A = this chain, B = another copy of it.
Amino acid sequence: MQQIIQVSTPKHNILVDLTHKIEELVQNSQITTGLVNVYVQGATTGIMIQENWDESVQNDVVTLFKKLVPAGIWQHDAQDNNGDAHLKAGIVGPEETIPLIDGKLGLSTWQNIFLCEFDGPRKTRNIVITIIETPK
Contacts and interface: CB of A to CB of B under 8 A. Distances in A.
B111 A94 contact: yes
Contacts of A87: 57, 60-61, 64
Would you call the interface of chain A mostly helix, strand, loop, or mixed?
A: mixed
Interface residues of A, number: 59
A134 B96 CA distance: 18
Given A35-B35, A42-B111, A60-B86, 9 more contacts: A35-B130, A41-B106, A42-B108, A43-B110, A56-B78, A57-B76, A57-B86, A60-B76, A93-B93
**Nearest 9 A-B pairs (CB), nearest first?**
A41-B108, A56-B76, A56-B75, A43-B110, A99-B128, A43-B51, A60-B74, A99-B130, A57-B76
